[in-house]
Amino acid sequence: IIYFLTSLFMCIKQCNSISLYSGEIMQSHDNSAHAFHSFRNTQVGHIAEYIEPVGETMKISDVISVSGDLRSLSSIPVETSRGICLIPVKNLEKKDTLLSSFKNSEIGKHINCSPTSVEAAENINHVMKKLIDRKDNQFEDFVITHRGRYLGIGSFMGLTRHISQMKDLELEKAREIQSFLMRNNLTDKHKISVKTLIKPANELGGDFYFSSEVYPGFFITACFDVSGKNISASLTTSMLGAVFSSLIHSGKADKMKPGEIIQLLNKVACDQTPDGIFITGIVIFSDEQKNEAELYNLGHTPALVFTNNSEGKKGIKIVNPNILPLGIEKIPDIEKYAQKITLFDGLKIFIYSDGLEDMYDKTGERYGDEKLKKFLLSRFSLPCSEIISHLEKEIAEFTEGAILPDDITVVLSEYSL
């Protein structure tokens, strides 16, 4: 009788242990959903996966019979007198099969170290750093607790995947903002039309363009290239967009000379960017009443002006940089650096970032300025929209899918007088 009662007690105890683990299937969805809604996506609790802990006296064979296949899990949480521990499944995969002689041993015997434990409210990036910096524990999985109580398990790969998704989302939002700030407000009613081509090399670009009628009959068209890449460069391009927007909405632009506007851009760049960050650019101020444009080349690539001589012979005038980039130092007597262009019907001005000349084909050959001039001369008479379309095809055919080393931004203006 005593033997029977002892056996019955042990059976009930083991069944209770099994029921705890089998409850994982029913509770994991509810607990995961709860964790998802309880924590922000920047907190590690957001990725918690609830798995019901097993007792340390439970046999491996019982775990197998309940789960079906241990390889569907990466680790098993075990409730011990020391708290929740994890056993990596790979530690149980000995010899050729999981059904080896040790299957009847207690799972607690295979606990040889303690897992990393993190609080569910911790920031995902802080947790990632903690996992990378750990030296004495190489578990892929870690225990997630909330207010001192077990919440679930997280994995290094799962955390990495989540952080990557978060960064992709942030970059997408930043791209939307950057695209919104780069604007071309000109319409068919204006005597200047502008067409653009944008090909970023990375998720976020350091190029920026702007084209708008600042006040009746006075236009600004600009192309900039910020030193640096991705997020740091995009922050600077946002600053440029804010300056132009403030300039227009302040209602004071009509009282400022082109040189004063360049000085304002430079002062803001010097004030708002750290040492080592600078902005090259071309800014064109077009005045319908004066029938004249003032072009300022601030350390940028040359501006290419489509010209016709008295005999109607086509050509390209190169307007080279003659001013330091923005954000380096004060520019005295800025007006003397203005390059004047007389406006006429059909005049085209091509400005671009250096990513266009610096693109390479699959053999490593650089595109360069000579190919660009040859391309433009052969399409001198085409409308701007067609030139841009041909240029996009030219880029695709030249690179043949090769990675762009830098952003490509093209701004092509045409005047109808």
* Residues 216-241: tens digit of each pLDDT: 999 999 999 988 766 777 788 888 88
Residues with Cβ within 8 Å of residue 276, at least 6 apart in sequence:
227
* Residues 67-104: tens digit of each pLDDT: 555 556 788 888 888 888 888 777 665 544 444 555 67
User: What does the block give as tokens for 306?
Assistant: 């489509």
CB atoms within 10 A of CB 246: 13
Yes or no: say if 173 and 392 are a contact pair by the CB < 8 Å rule. no
Q: Tokens 């990495």 belong to which residue?
A: 160
Strand order in the sheet with 207-215: 183-184, 207-215, 218-226, 279-287, 292-298, 339-342
Which segments of 348-412 does DSSP mark as H helices, in order?
368-377, 384-399
Query: How long, in residues, is the chain?
Result: 417
Strand order in the sheet with 149-155: 117-119, 141-146, 149-155
The pLDDT profile of the chain, 417 residues, written as one tens digit per residue, is 444 444 444 444 444 443 433 343 344 445 544 554 679 999 999 999 888 888 888 887 776 666 555 556 788 888 888 888 888 777 665 544 444 555 677 877 777 566 789 999 999 999 999 888 876 656 688 999 998 899 999 989 999 999 999 988 888 888 787 778 787 888 778 889 999 999 988 877 788 999 999 999 999 999 999 887 667 777 888 888 889 988 888 888 889 999 999 999 999 999 988 888 899 999 999 999 999 999 999 999 999 999 876 555 678 899 999 999 999 998 889 999 999 999 999 999 999 999 999 999 999 999 999 999 999 999 988 999 999 999 999 999 999 989 999 999 999 999 998
Yes or no: say if 355 and 407 are a contact pair by the CB < 8 Å rule. yes
pLDDT of amino acid 256: 93
Instruction: Identify the sign of the CA torsion 366, 372, 375, 378.
Output: negative
Distance CA 340, CA 356 (A): 25
Distance CA 194, CA 206 (A): 20
Distance CA 159, CA 153 (A): 11
Yes or no: say if 170 and 198 are a contact pair by the CB < 8 Å rule. no
